[in-house]
Amino acid sequence: MTRLTFENVWVRYGSGRSSHDAVRGVDLVVPDGRLVGLVGESGSGKSTLARAAVGLQEPSRGRILVDDVDVVGARGKTAAVRRQVQMVFQDANSSLNPRMSIGASIEEAFVVRGAGGGRAGRRAEVATLLELVELDPARAGDLPSQLSGGQRQRVSIARALAAEPRILLADEITSALDVSVQGTVLNLLMRVQRELDLTVLFISHNLAVVRQLCDDVAVMKDGEIVEVGPAASVIDDPQHPYTQELIAAIPRVGTPLFDRGAHR
């Protein structure tokens, strides 16, 4: 098991006058083997924070620790430590090459990891991973376009797992999916998290799902964490006015999403 720690992390986009700090002094610990939810309105900096942890965006200040190793600007051995952190994105299409079979996509992640074992060994590992995400290994030769959205997202999870991560960052992994398959993908994530003892940062707009799945939740506003604590207590009894607003904004069952009369 592995802990992920953000220490006074700042992430800036652009430079000079047009620069913008999307993440501003974030301190957050995702403890060993725990599931921490990250919520906040669109544009609050959630994805940027996660992207910084996998090196897609370098912080302008601060440290990001995998256990005790700072992975900011990682090279060589430290880069191998950073590969223990893998991210699954909202849109599976962006992480899968449309011209590559799903088996080859997963295999590619082994090669990046530097796994040995030869071709036959890697094929066997691909089959094991496909089974782990509840896909028939016989489909390894299929292209992403031959799969449903939910199946493609399972392949993305398998691909991330191929790197043998200790920490998984799940960024809105079900929001592009039909409601009917969201539960299947979430159940899969939970099972994999338990079986592999993963540490998970779960980014979501769905507070009900976060309350159900996560141990803790952090609430982000304008690049800062404004509240953090056990998911059930933060969501049931929010202390920060912004969290209270977020929760009040959840449409209740039976509440119309918009006022039809207003458009007549």
Residues of this chain that interact with ligand ATP (CB under 6 A) are: 13, 22, 40, 42-48
3-state class (DSSP) for residue 44: coil
Nearer to ligand ATP, 42 or 255 (CB): 42
Minimal distance, residue 205 CB to ligand ATP, in Å: 6
Nearer to ligand ATP, 47 or 84 (CB): 47
Please state, in angstroms and as integers, the Cα–Cα distance from residue 198 to each residue in 161, 190, 237, following that order: 10, 10, 28
Minimal distance, residue 256 CB to ligand ATP, in Å: 24
Which of 86, 80, 76, 113 has its CA nearest to residue 4? 86
What pairs with residue 171 in β-bridges?
A: 203
Nearer to ligand ATP, 13 or 111 (CB): 13
Minimal distance, residue 20 CB to ligand ATP, in Å: 6
Minimal distance, residue 55 CB to ligand ATP, in Å: 15
Matching residue, tokens 């912080």: 59
3-state SS string for 6-19: EEEEEEEECCHHHC
Nearer to ligand ATP, 151 or 153 (CB): 153
> Residue 109: left if φ>0, alpha if ψ -120 to 50, beta else—which one?
alpha
